[in-house]
Amino acid sequence: MKPSPDAREAQLRELMLAAQDGDAAAYGGFLRQLTPFLRAYFRRRLQNRPDDVEDLLQETLIAVHNSRHTYDPSQPVGAWLHAIARYKMVDLLRAQAGREALHDPLDEDSAALFTDAEPAAAEARRDLRVLLARLPDRQRLPIEYVKIEGLSVAEAAQRTGLSEPAVKIGVHRGLKALAALIRRQR
């Protein structure tokens, strides 16, 4: 049977009071018991950003550690912990909201989204043609037929007059050569 919240509160309180008196074993037990509760608490509330849960958990444990002198025995330890966890979570969300506001330039109008897409794709196609033209035929043709036009290796072999293994090797070496060309261009 799981312990009731009251029993858990009483147990955590006892460990916390011992920890405040400098009992390292009690303090370790306190933090270990606390960890799964905090993890579950943050997981429930940060469902769309699971990557932040563990960071936030660690941040909160450090906060608990640094402010353990502010726990008053007349206060429920659960309320104290909840206030710290909530504070740290709100702080994180606020900081991220601030950062994301920086990523998203507000002065750029929304039409930029539509005007950008087409020219960018067209430029990419043009760049690819230019680079492809610099490859030897035995690499350029296999890439054009297989990777761009979407033919099978057998069809490409028939059209180019190369053997199937030669087409495969041509695609492979050609892509490598293209990658090298792109790197050099940068």
Partner 1 sequence: MRTDELVAALAAGAEPVDRRAPLRRMLLAAGVGLALAAALMLALLGPNPELGRAEMPPMFWVKLCFAGAVAAAGVLAAARMGRPGARLGGAAWLAGAPFAVLWLLALLALLAAAPEQRMPAVMGSTWQACPVNIALLSVPAFAAALWAMRGLAPTRLRLAGAVAGLLAGALAALAYSLHCPEMTAPFIGLWYVLGMLVPTALGAAIGPRLLRW
Binding site residues, partner 1, CB under 8 A: 19-25, 27-28, 31-32, 35, 54, 57-58, 61-63, 65-73, 75, 79-80, 82-84, 86-87, 91
Choose between 82 and 173: whose C-beta lies nearer to partner 1: 82
CB 61 within 8 A of CB 31: yes
CA dist., res. 106 & res. 108, Å (int): 6
Closest CA to 55 of 78, 74, 38: 38
Minimum separation from the CB atom of position 10 to partner 1 (A)? 17
CB 26 within 8 A of CB 15: yes
Choose between 92 and 156: whose C-beta lies nearer to partner 1: 92
Choose between 73 and 105: whose C-beta lies nearer to partner 1: 73
Minimum separation from the CB atom of position 9 to partner 1 (A)? 13
Choose between 56 and 157: whose C-beta lies nearer to partner 1: 56
Long-range CB pairs of 61-68 (<8 Å, 24+ gap) are 61/31, 61/34, 61/35, 63/87, 63/88, 64/31, 64/34, 65/31, 68/16, 68/19, 68/20
Minimum separation from the CB atom of position 120 to partner 1 (A)? 41
Minimum separation from the CB atom of position 74 to partner 1 (A)? 9
